[in-house]
Chains A and B, each alone.
Chain A
Amino acid sequence: MNFTEVDLFGVYLAPVSLMMAAAWLVLIALRHVADHFGLLRHVWHPALFVFAFYMIILSSVVLVVAR
């Protein structure tokens, strides 16, 4: 386990907040790809799909960091 608080200009941030930001950046990139190929058009509920994908990415980031 490697979850230690991050010192950002004197403010201590919870590690999960950085992981959430990282997952969000990954999501933006993947969303661009999905938009380019029109993949989200085939999804019943795009917002729910994107949210579920975000949770998968975030969980993966947490697991990778925890290893």
Chain B
Amino acid sequence: MSRARLWASVQPQTNWPDTARLARALRSATPALLFGLRLWAAVCLALYIAFWLQLDNAYWAGTSAAIVCQPSLGASLRKGWFRVIGTVVGAVAIVVLTAWFPQQRTGFLLGLALWGAACGLLATLLRNFAAYSAALAGYTAVIIASDELGAVGGANGDVFILAISRASEICIGIICAGVVLAGTDFGGTRHRLAAQLAALSVEIANKLASTFVLDGSAQPKTRPVRRELIRRVIALDSVIDEALGESSDLRPHSPVLQAAVGGLFAALSGWRSAAVHLELLQSDPSRREADIVRANIPQELRQGDATSWAVDPSPMCRACAAAVRALTALPARTPSLRLFADQTAEALDGIGRALDGLLLLADPGRHIPGHQSARFSVPDLLPSLVNAGRAFVTIVAVELFWIMTAWPNGAQAITFAAVAVILFSPRADQAYATTMSFMVGTGLTTALAAIVKFAVLPGVANFAGFSLAIGLVLVPAGALMAQPWQTAMFTAMAANFLPLLAPANQMNYDTLQFYNSALAIVAGLGAAALAFRLLPPLSPALRTRRLLALTLRNLRRLTTGPIPRTASEWEGRVYSRLSALPEQAEPLQRAQLMAALSVGTEIIRLRRVAHRFDQDAELDVALDAVAKGESSAAAERLARLDQRLAALPSTRPGVRVRLRARASILAMSEALAQHAVYFDAGAAR
């Protein structure tokens, strides 16, 4: 080895920064930094307008702007709109409450806690941004109340003026955030939703078609795929809400998007029934029947491409509609073939509804007929009641603490306890961790606000300097909010910085007041965190068990009483339960809910058909076994009903309807057999 090479190998290499890597890192951080700048601009604009209008607590305008700013544009705009509604409702509520309890401290404070509880209840019952609006109505009322309460409680006569000024400040913040975000970010949620909807539709269509190629023994392998797809369909809900917030032209057509999700659930249900039937009937005739049905699925649906579906879904819509017509009219001699054809038609019809959603996303001006407004259905009332009870107890406890200690900043502690306990309740098992992160973030913000307030602001003489000073905290906090790690902590930093700083036209540099205020905020958040520990939300496992049990109870009720005209109410109820399933739910539990959907739909169909052919008594016996949780007995009685329907003379009208009923019996029996443990659970004795 030459001396030069030896030297080269011994000499340590200088570690210059890798420019390409640095550029990549900067590029990936740019969206977050831009968001931080937008948040800062929105806050500055809101504060400028509030100061210009000489509003007394201008910082609420900046605080609202900071809270309304969300990394996703759709979330921000819609959240802003709902925030206006919540603010107005909360302001009206506190004025009414004050009028009801003039000079009555106990009544007023209890009324305030009850209002907080009612808003907590609605915040959990409603979903997404409607839930946020309910939460806002609760804590806007508490914010105004904290201003009007005296040293130890009791309302005063300034409530109307306070309500107007607080509501105005909050609305200024909302509008400023909306203007800044809408003017600088055009969002991409609609494209994201279209891509997800197309990907799910393509995947379901492809895998449905390939199910008919697989042997019966290979069918169990498709179960995990379906269960994972159910989870992904459930996750579409929040993206839909963001898209509705981002695009005002989508809002009037929101039932089409809800129907698209329902369609995907229906497609998975139809696929499940066909796959289970193939799994149970491992014979040559069933193989031939599967081939017949597969031949009726158009080639473009069998080998679809998500990108082309998202760009122009019209050809696929037409193909789906044609395939549904062909499969419905398919001449079938056996219940087995009828089952394959009907379930595949149902699945393709569901995919067609999802494609209608895609059509809407591609062209929001298009009229898509046949979709009625979705009916609101409460999946489970208990989590909401627990949250309402916790909100009431927490607010009353902090009120009592304040009255007993005569703490000057107690009212502020009540405000922040109410904000946290109402706002974070819908996060269920994440509520405690989120509140703790929020509290830690507030603690850090206190230190930053103290530095800015006592070290930077005394040297600042104009609004431009003040804006730069708050930008030192708001821009990094906003940028960090836009990344996935510890989002709640950085949200707290952005949201609580201004209430702590309390900027005013005549700044007040009283350290004691600052620390009292900071202590009140941290104590309020701490009370909320303690409430989440002592009165914890229902665990995901318990919520899942309850959703399954409630669905089973509803299913058993379907067996008696008046026959529903359509299955849409039942389907809507199960879709809402599927959407409410926690992320931690077992795949098997999702499949059980899907099986219940299928069985319920078949029960409604069979009850209508049995009535037509005077087979009510025989069906009632079978359904009685379903209601008692005796699946095997139900299957036997359904087989007897099948024989009776088969024995009816072919000269009697309704041959096709009877064959369809027999296919329904088959699908129902197979679902009962596959999930017997679930359907037999808690059997009525």
Q: List 11 A–B pairs whose Cβ atoms lie within 8 Å, in order of A's numbering.
A: A11-B511, A11-B515, A12-B512, A45-B534, A47-B533, A47-B534, A47-B536, A48-B534, A51-B530, A51-B533, A51-B534
Interface pairs A-B: 3 shortest CB-CB: A47-B533, A48-B534, A47-B534
Where the two chains meet, the residues of B that have a C-beta atom closer than 8 Å to any C-beta of A are: 511-512, 515, 530, 533-534, 536
At the interface, is chain B mostly helix, strand, loop or mixed? helix
B530 surroundings in chain A (CB, below 8 A): 51
A28-52 toward B: CB 8 Å interface, digit per residue (1/0)?
A: 0000000000000000010110010
CB distance from A21 to the nearest CB of B (A): 13
A-B contact count (CB 8 A): 11
A11 surroundings in chain B (CB, below 8 A): 511, 515
CB distance from B255 to the nearest CB of A (A): 43
A45 surroundings in chain B (CB, below 8 A): 534
Complex alpha-carbon distance, A16 and B511, angstroms: 19
- Chain B residue at minimal CB-CB distance from A12: B512
New contact pairs (4) apart from A12-B512, A45-B534, CB-CB < 8 Å: A11-B515, A47-B533, A48-B534, A51-B534
B536 surroundings in chain A (CB, below 8 A): 47
Complex alpha-carbon distance, A12 and B511, angstroms: 10
Complex alpha-carbon distance, A11 and B518, angstroms: 14
- Chain A residue at minimal CB-CB distance from B536: A47
Q: Which of B511, B512, B530, B534 neighbours the largest number of chain A CB atoms within 10 Å of its CB?
A: B534
CB distance from A55 to the nearest CB of B (A): 11
CB distance from A12 to the nearest CB of B (A): 8
Complex alpha-carbon distance, A11 and B515, angstroms: 9
Complex alpha-carbon distance, A31 and B530, angstroms: 17
- Chain A residue at minimal CB-CB distance from B530: A51
CB distance from B263 to the nearest CB of A (A): 43
B533 surroundings in chain A (CB, below 8 A): 47, 51
Complex alpha-carbon distance, A1 and B650, angstroms: 100
B512 surroundings in chain A (CB, below 8 A): 12
A12 surroundings in chain B (CB, below 8 A): 512
- Chain B residue at minimal CB-CB distance from A46: B533
CB distance from A22 to the nearest CB of B (A): 17
- Chain A residue at minimal CB-CB distance from B405: A16
Complex alpha-carbon distance, A47 and B390, angstroms: 15
Complex alpha-carbon distance, A45 and B512, angstroms: 38
A48 surroundings in chain B (CB, below 8 A): 534
Complex alpha-carbon distance, A17 and B347, angstroms: 64
Complex alpha-carbon distance, A28 and B21, angstroms: 44
